[in-house]
């Protein structure tokens, strides 16, 4: 019985011992295998990690560059917008100037003067004294311009900066186009100012009246003038 | 005599067949348990050779040593001190002592045999 008990104890211990030994062996083997694999792949892992880091750094750099470029683009766009508004303003200015110069039709408030030869001519000899001459027209036009008229026309023909007015017998030639009396001078501008400036004492109208010329003047809300036909 | 050998084979195959994976932090316990078992086995052999073998002492020593070693390792982990090294050291020293004694006893026996 004692012998048997000893055997049982021995076998039990050996069972546990064997189990432990083999299990440990197996475990260590698997562990070392894992370690070996990681050892083998360590260099690769490091390499890839380094690559990743490099890529990330590059990424950041590129991102910064992208941001910079975006900012530049935005600045350029703003500049472009500014330029566009400038161009718009310039276009407006140009239009206005073209209107003033006569390359575009113009319309606005103003005054209309009608100069006509004196209706009563006492003697035929002095008929010349009772007629409207180019100087009268020039006087009126100069006065209107100095009063701030934007555009002037005679009998619907616009006066430009290079226009000339001359007397051709009983008619007046404006840029070579002859106009008989009466002469209607229209001026676009501030009608009150023009009115006052024409009606000054010893002003244009007084002179004209002294020269026996019938002068009619009226304010107009809208006067239209055509553009120069070139 | 065949029962212990059979049990050893069964234990070995059982250990090889089990697919339990021990987490890394418990590998210390396993190694110390193996060491304790080894120590006890050699202690048993030595006791047997010296004629002092007691199966009760052997059995309790076997399991008690394993548990104590695991406990020591556990305590070491909890305290942050590698206490399992103490167990490894102690078991290692005892292992060598036991083996040395076994060797001596065996040599003595052989010499006696030769003299006789």
Residue A179 has pLDDT above 60, yes or no: yes
- The verdict on residue B91 lying in a domain is yes
In chain B, residues with a C-beta closer than 8 Å to the C-beta of A12 are 7, 59
Chain B residues within 8 A (CB-CB) of chain A? Answer: 1, 3-16, 18, 20-22, 24, 27, 30-31, 33-34, 37-38, 40-41, 44, 53, 55, 58-59, 62-63
Domains assigned to chain A = 108-225 (3.30.70.1880)
H/E element, A180: none
Residue at B72 is within a domain: yes
Question: What is the pLDDT, as a whole number, of residue B1?
Answer: 65
Q: Which domain holds residue B108?
A: 20-115
Q: Which residues of B touch A15 (CB under 8 A)?
A: 7-8, 10-11, 14
Identify the closest residue of chain B to A35 by CA–CA distance. Answer: B24
A208-217, B22-31, B82-91: least confident range:
B22-31
Least CA distance to B39: which residue of chain A? A17
Q: What is the pLDDT of residue A33?
A: 63
Asked if the structure places residue B6 within a domain, the reply is no
User: How large is the greatest C-alpha to C-alpha distance in chain B, in angstroms?
Assistant: 58
Q: Looking at residues B57-74, what average pLDDT do you find? A: 83
Interface of A with B in 26-45 (CB under 8 A): 26-27, 30-31
What percentage of chain A exceeds 70 in pLDDT?
A: 90
Q: In 3D, which of A60, A19, A168 has the Cα closest to residue B7?
A: A19
* Residue partners of A11: CB distance under 8 A and separation at least 6: B3, B4, B6, B7, B8
Distance from CA of B115 to the nearest CA of A (A): 31
Is B38 inside any structural domain? yes
Residue B8 resides in a domain: no
**Residue B107 is assigned to a structural domain of this protein:** yes
Per residue in A54-64, pLDDT (tens digit) is 999 999 999 99
The CA distance from B65 to B35, in Å, is 9
- Alpha carbon distance, N-terminus to C-terminus of chain A: 141
For chain B, how many structural domains are there in total? 1
- pLDDT at residue A115 tops 60: yes
pLDDT tens digits, B1-39: 677 778 788 888 887 777 777 677 677 777 888 888 888
Q: What is the ipTM of this complex?
A: 0.73
């Amino acid at each position: 019985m004692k012998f048997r008990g000893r055997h049982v104890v021995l076998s039990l211990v050996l069972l546990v011992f064997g189990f432990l030994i083999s299990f440990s062996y197996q475990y260590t083997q698997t562990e070392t295998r894992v370690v070996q694999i990681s050892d083998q792949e360590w260099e690769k892992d490091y390499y890839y990690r380094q690559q990743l880091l490099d890529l990330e750094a590059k990424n950041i750099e590129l991102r910064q560059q992208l941001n910079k470029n975006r900012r530049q683009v935005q600045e350029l766009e703003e500049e472009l917008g500014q330029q566009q508004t400038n161009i718009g303003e310039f276009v407006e200015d140009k239009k206005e100037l073209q209107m003033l110069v006569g390359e575009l039709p113009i319309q606005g408030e103003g005054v209309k003067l009608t100069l006509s030869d004196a209706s009563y001519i006492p003697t035929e000899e002095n008929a010349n004294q009772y007629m409207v001459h180019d100087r009268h027209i020039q006087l009126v036009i100069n006065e209107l311009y100095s009063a701030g008229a934007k555009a002037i026309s005679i009998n619907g023909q616009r006066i430009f900066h290079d226009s000339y007015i001359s007397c051709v017998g009983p008619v007046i030639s404006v840029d070579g186009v002859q106009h008989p009396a009466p002469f209607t001078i229209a001026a676009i501008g501030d009608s009150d100012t023009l009115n006052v400036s024409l009606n000054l004492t010893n002003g244009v109208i007084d002179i004209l009246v002294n020269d026996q010329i019938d002068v009619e003047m009226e304010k107009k809300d809208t006067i239209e003038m055509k553009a120069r036909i070139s | 005599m065949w029962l212990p050998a059979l049990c050893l084979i069964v234990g070995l195959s059982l250990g090889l067949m089990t697919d339990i994976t021990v987490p890394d932090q418990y590998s210390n316990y396993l190694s110390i348990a193996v060491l304790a078992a080894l120590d006890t086995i050699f202690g048993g052999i030595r006791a047997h050779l010296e004629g002092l073998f007691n199966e009760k002492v052997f059995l309790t020593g076997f399991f008690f040593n394993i548990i104590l070693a695991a406990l020591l390792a556990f305590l070491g982990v909890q305290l942050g001190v590698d206490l399992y090294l103490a167990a490894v050291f102690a078991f290692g020293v005892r292992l060598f002592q036991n083996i040395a004694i076994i060797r001596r006893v065996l040599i003595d026996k052989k010499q006696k045999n030769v003299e006789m």
